[in-house]
Structure 1
Amino acid sequence: MVPKGLLLLSPVVWQPFLPREQQDKKTSLTDFTISDVVRSGVEVPSSSIGVYAGDEECYSLYSTLFEPIMKEYHGLDKLPAHVSCLDARRLTSVIQSEAPVLSTRCRVVRNLAGYGFPAGMSREQRLEVESLLVTALEDLKGPISNWSSNQENDKYQVAAGIHRNWPEGRGIFYNDAKTFLVWVNEEDHLRIISMQKGADVKAVFDRLCRGINAINKALLRHAQTGFAFHKQYGYLSSCPTNLGTGMRASVHVSVPPAFNDVRNKCRQLGLDVRGQHGETSEAEGGMYDLSNHQRLGRTEVDLLQAVIDGINTLQSTSTRK
């Protein structure tokens, strides 16, 4: 069994916990080995997870490594069958006070079944996936622009090999209002994003659900493929933190200075806390990015409802301070 709190500093850490036959194998689609899986954590020891899947088969071939990480990160004792619910009408409440909320954002990650994931795919595979997605996204009637020519600066993804040939084979789709975006071939084949100013979580989630369904139908129609999926792990992603729903629902919220225990309170509510400019940024002027920590083991509606309830509890507590 892989030890709790695993940091993948070197092969010495993970090799004793994997059967010899797994250490010597590689996946049939991308030739991804266990050394490839842990490369990011080995090269960048500051990584808290340090593993990336190169294709769907990684999760079955190297399950001895992946499953303990999944359970620890998502807070699960066992991995149930995944159930999805993409229906905004199932939400039972909304954010009660809009005043402290600057903006709301929901995103999911998806990969295409039968294709290598960005860490394991070849240049030719990346261009093929890009072509398939461009065709599918044309049904949504919006422009697709090229990614910036500048190299992405996520050192963990760079170490994993995700940014090879950057920015070739990548792009961004967006609607005219720029409230719905799709990143193509970044950490995953698709990062589907719905966002807008204010606290109307239901509208943001409804737009996301409709976009996901439209893309899935277009892929089935144009490419005869859908999203990579596992009955227990849910929608398969490059990083195991995004398994299950693949969804991160977040709000940029202003927390009063008097409420100085925001991080501990959010952790108790099951929320991740970031600065408003991303995962490694610090909060500025009392502005925080708050989102669901868990992605696996619950439906999209359940996770979004947990964020709504957490924000309402946080606001109520801060008001009493």
Structure 2
Amino acid sequence: MAHHVSIQACIEQLDVEIGFRATDPDAYVTFGALFDPAIKDYHKIPMNADIRHPSPSFGSVDDLDIKDLDPDGKYVISTRVRVGRNLDGFPFQSLLSDDERAKVETRLKNTFGQLQLVKEYDGEYHSLETMTEAEEKNLIETHLLFNHSNSASRSAGVYRNWPMNRGIYINKTKTFLVWISETDHTRIISMQPGGRIDQVYSRLVEGVRIIEKQLRFAHSDRLGYITFCPTNLGTTLRASVHIKIPKLAANKEVLGKLCDDYNLQVRGIDGDGTGIFGDTFDISNKRRMGLTEIQAVVEMAAGVKAIINEEENL
């Protein structure tokens, strides 16, 4: 089987941070000379032949020094933790055939029966192919559903034959989501209003465990869980808050330094590739590789707490 790397994003989108994508798990081996320097720079880890990503370790909420990021409810609007996964034995989105995408959807949908047996995760699947325009618009505006507006993903071929075999599983309380065929084969997401990172994280962990008992995902000792974009390798975990910080919004140099110090990423609240406007930001851990899942959440929590402290002191 021939392996490929997608470089179209860096040709068409000159401002993208990393413009090349893997088209299957083996691309990271075949094109290691291209990927390794980018991985080293983004995740701040050495990349040599002996590098090994830590074994998955979700730990426990007892390992979190900070369980509520914003006890007074003054700054954090919502908290979200997600992981990405790709089914073992399938190429990634830019090479996935229509038949393969249908198989990915079927296999993931088959896991939802087990989720529905647990009260907290009980919900239903919504196909993008059958939902109305109004339903789709509402789910996107409430930050539950992905869209196909990311220019780098479009350049890389992620959105071919949209919206075929794509959809979202939503639990009844809208605090647990499973996306099918957005960028990776699936994104598993836990979210809720406010800053209770302990509740959000524990819900994610148990949901991931239910799904992973039923499916085998692409993984290697060297890179951890393997994803379409090199920024998401390793734990693939992104813990984030939507946070309103008007004083720091007017002091972006101070905010930027805090984010650098705590390995945080800032972006707009409407998702990857969106602009940053006003005084409300999406802030998350930047490093996903070279540390465990619980360590990534701890790093994010410490950084958000430091940002809130700075906001109060300005």
- Please give the range of the TM-score, normalised by the shorter of the 2 chains: 0.7 to 0.9
**Residue 186 of structure 1 pairs with residue 182 of structure 2:** yes
Structure with the bigger RCO (C-alpha within 8 Å, sep 6+) is: 2
Aligned residues with identical type, % of pairs: 34
Summarize the alignment of residues 53-92 of structure 1 with structure 2, pairs less than 5 Å apart.
53-78=22-47, 79-87=51-59, 88-92=61-65
Counterpart in the other structure of 1:9: none
Q: Using the TM superposition, give the Cα deviation of residue 187 of structure 1 relative to its aligned residue in structure 2, in angstroms.
A: 0.5
Amino acid at match of 1:246: T
**CA distance in structure 1 between the aligned counterparts of 2:19 and 2:278, rounded to whole angstroms:** 31
Paired with 1:320 and 1:163, the residues of 2 have a C-alpha distance of: 45
The one-letter code of the counterpart of 1:169 is N
Instruction: Give secondary structure in 2 for the equivalent of 1:218.
Output: coil
Correspondence list, 1:1-150, <5 A: 28=1, 31-34=2-5, 37-78=6-47, 79-87=51-59, 88-94=61-67, 95=69, 97=71, 98-141=73-116, 142-147=123-128
After TM superposition, the score normalised by the length of structure 1 is 0.83
Rounded Cα–Cα distance in structure 2 between residues aligned with 1:46 and 1:286: 23
Describe the superposition over 1:213-244 as per-residue Cα deviations: whole angstroms up to 9, x where unpaired.
Answer: 1001122xxxxxx1110102110000000000
TM-score (norm 2): 0.85
2:213 aligns to what SS in structure 1? helix
- SS of the aligned residue for 2:269 comes to coil
Once the 2 structures are TM-superposed, how far is the Cα of residue 177 of structure 1 from its aligned partner?
0.6
Q: 2:267 aligns with which of 274, 284, 289?
A: 274
RMSD over aligned CA atoms reads 1.9
Task: Count the aligned residue pairs.
Answer: 284
Q: Deviations over 1:110-163 (max 9, x none)?
A: 001111111111111111111111111222122111126887122211111111
| Amino acid of the structure 1 residue aligned with 2:196 | D
User: Equivalent residues in 2 for 1:217-296 (5 A)?
Assistant: 217-219=213-215, 226-257=216-247, 260=251, 261-296=254-289
Whole-Å separation in 2 of the counterparts to 1:217 and 1:83? 17
Q: Return the alpha-carbon distance in structure 2 between the equivalents of residues 124 and 282 of structure 1.
A: 35
In 1, the alpha carbon distance for the partners of 2:256 and 2:9 equals: 27
Which of 164, 186, 189 pairs up with 2:160?
164
Deviates more, 1:283-292 or 1:299-308: 283-292
Distance 1:178 1:89 in 2: 25
The change in CA–CA distance for 1:205 and 1:75 in structure 2 (over 3 A counts) is same
Q: Is the 8 A contact 2:77 2:242 kept in 1?
A: yes
Ranges in structure 2 where 5+ consecutive residues have no aligned partner: 117-122, 134-146
Amino acid at match of 2:110: T
Partner of 2:293: 300
Hey, what's the Cα distance between the residues in 2 that align with 1:308 and 1:216?
A: 26
**Structure with larger Rg:** 1
Shift of residue 80, structure 1, vs aligned partner: 3.3
Matched to 1:210, the amino acid is E
List gaps (5 residues or longer) in structure 1. Answer: 1-27, 220-225
**Taking structure 1 as reference, are residues 209 and 42 closer, same or farther at Cα in structure 2, changes over 3 Å only?**
same
Aligned to 2:202: 206
